[in-house]
Amino acid sequence: MLLQTQLPQWTALGPALILAITALVLFVIDSVDPDSTDSALLAGVSVVGTLAALGVAAWFLAAGTGQVGTGGEITLFRDALVVDGMSLFFTAIFTSVAAMVFVASYDYLKDRPDQAEFYSLVLLATTGMALLASSNSLATAFISLELTSLPSYALVAYLKRNRGSVEAGLKYFLIGALSSSVFVFGISLVYAVTGSLLFSDVASALGDLDQSFRGVAGIGVLMIAGGFAFKTASVPFHFWAPEAYEGAPAPVSAFLSSASKAAGFAVAFRVFVEAFPIATAVDLGIDWVLAFGILAVVTMTLGNFAAATQENVKRMLAYSSIGHAGYVLIGLAALSAGAATNGDVLGASMAHLLVYGFMNTGAFLFVALVEHWGVGRTFEDYNGLAERAPMACAAMTVFMFSLAGLPPFGGFFSKYFLFASAIGAGFWWLAAFGALNSALSLFYYSRVVKAMWIEESDGSFELTSRPIGLYAAIMVAAVGTLVLLPGFGPVIETAQTVAAALFG
């Protein structure tokens, strides 16, 4: 029987509700014992709640909830929220990353004050991401974006006595506030000319728009695109990312660069495909496909060239994440009005975000492990690390080569399908830029591998502990990256199927 006939429709929001309830449970625990530093309890509750949300999202996705074969998307709250295959796919990404971050935080935050606040903030941000993926209105998209962003500002500045963390949090907040104001002003312009905030109504109104209002609509769409570019750390709104990722605690950097980036793309995909259809937008003189094409090339190129010049590993990964935003933008840049390949291209971008969630989160968590040991942050500090921690360094090698897109790692397959889909859609030049940038990225990723395995250690550091949580999270990320090799067929098929439903 179908899920819709077995359970009330509101239960389709089960993953987001579980995340929110888990955050409230942590609030209660913190209220009862505000000085608690019981990492096992706090991390355990967070992991259990997040895995429960992941399990429900995976169950709904496998059961076809909100998909064409089971009656189509489920709409709630006067169509303001929608649950379909795409929203569930992205929710699985968010919860997977959050679970790994919680496991790693068990050691990273041990004996620190305000642990309950940390876990609660991550859970609230993840709840916002789940709602963001289900947004079917510009109003709910903005509110969900703020629910995601506000906890993120506090998380970046979590290390209150660390000047770099506090400074990064302040910069992130100021730039984020500016970005939100631009985004909401763009929404107001679109609402002024269409009279609605629901995506389907906006698309319908744009099709009948009077000539005198087209300029206003174009500016509104451009400002909305700028808001999404900030959230995904795309050029020219990328400059906050290196500062925030470097100053934030490494688990927070992992969370922001993987889950938060995916959340930005989740809502961008839905907004531009459903609210601003390609054919209608082109007729109005708003060629957002071309704009995203230019943005993709510039973002991946600048991100990779900047990463290649870094000496700080964490900062290198920050610029690397900007480069990967450029790859994912191909999902919007290689679309054409009415093309049968649209679902393949968008689905390939979604599949790359899933693989990226594991390999990028694992890489940042390895940096967290190194920070825990007090080794240092530069490439030179990593010299000879494999002699002391071979398992962790082997996992980091998997992450580096997968991020670079080398076979037979998961990143190779996700990039292959992404570039192949772009070529199939007639956008071979996007694939060419992507391939060239991937080749460039191998230079700086291999520097990490070379330092760990080939360079000689100066013997100035001692690894006095083997933090269970950090090791476990890193190994889960590595296994996830490798398991996606034989399992990538079903992943790409599911992603392309749920993406194609947006164009139906």
For residue range 308-333, what is the model confidence (pLDDT) as tens digits?
Answer: 999 999 999 999 999 999 999 999 99
Query: CB 77: neighbour CB atoms within 10 A?
Result: 12
Average pLDDT over residues 192-207: 92
> Per the domain annotation, does 357 fall within a domain?
yes
> Per the domain annotation, does 103 fall within a domain?
no
Average pLDDT over residues 294-319: 94
Please give the structure tokens belonging to residue 56.
């429900």
Helix or strand holding residue 76 (H, E): strand 74-76
Q: 285 — alpha (psi -120 to 50), left (phi > 0) or beta? A: left
> Per the domain annotation, does 299 fall within a domain?
yes
Whether pLDDT at 486 is above 80: no
Find out whether 134 and 90 touch, Cβ atoms under 8 Å. no
Burial class (CB in 10 A: 0-12, 13-18, 19+), 491: buried
Give residue-wise pLDDT tens across range 215-264.
899 999 999 998 888 888 888 888 888 888 988 888 999 999 999 999 99
Give the pLDDT band (50/70/90) at residue 487.
low
Give the pLDDT band (50/70/90) at residue 1.
very low
Is the four-CA dihedral 367, 329, 90, 179 of positive or negative sign?
positive
Please give the structure tokens belonging to residue 338.
């009415």
Query: CB 207: neighbour CB atoms within 10 A?
Result: 12
Find out whether 132 and 145 touch, Cβ atoms under 8 Å. yes
Give the pLDDT band (50/70/90) at residue 461.
low
Find out whether 201 and 78 touch, Cβ atoms under 8 Å. no
- Domains identified in the chain, total number: 1
Give residue-wise pLDDT tens across range 425-451.
999 999 999 999 999 999 999 999 999
Average pLDDT over residues 183-208: 93
Give the pLDDT band (50/70/90) at residue 111.
confident
Give the pLDDT band (50/70/90) at residue 4.
very low
* SS3 call for 473: helix
Whether pLDDT at 50 is above 90: yes
Give the pLDDT band (50/70/90) at residue 490.
confident
Q: pLDDT over 70 for what percent of the chain?
A: 97
Q: What is the pLDDT of residue 2?
A: 44
**Average pLDDT of every residue of the chain:** 90
> Per the domain annotation, does 197 fall within a domain?
no
> Per the domain annotation, does 259 fall within a domain?
no
> Per the domain annotation, does 235 fall within a domain?
no
- At residue 256's C-alpha, the angle toward residues 255 and 259, to 5°, is 65
Q: What is the pLDDT of residue 58?
A: 94
More confident: 4 or 34: 34
More confident: 238 or 361: 361
Q: Which DSSP category does 457 fall into? A: P
Q: Which DSSP category does 248 fall into? A: S
Spatial separation of the C-alpha atoms in residues 201 and 335, rounded to whole Å: 22
**What range defines the domain where residue 384 resides?**
287-504
Q: What values do phi and psi take at 378, rounded to 5?
A: -90, 165
Q: What is the pLDDT of residue 308?
A: 94
Q: How far apart are the first and last CA of the chain?
A: 24
More confident: 113 or 135: 135
Please give the structure tokens belonging to residue 480.
């996830």
More confident: 458 or 216: 216
> Per the domain annotation, does 451 fall within a domain?
yes
Q: What is the pLDDT of residue 460?
A: 67
Give the pLDDT band (50/70/90) at residue 503.
confident
Q: What is the pLDDT of residue 481?
A: 87
Whether pLDDT at 459 is above 70: no
> Per the domain annotation, does 321 fall within a domain?
yes
Q: What is the pLDDT of residue 470?
A: 92
Average pLDDT over residues 472-486: 86
Please give the structure tokens belonging to residue 405.
């897109």
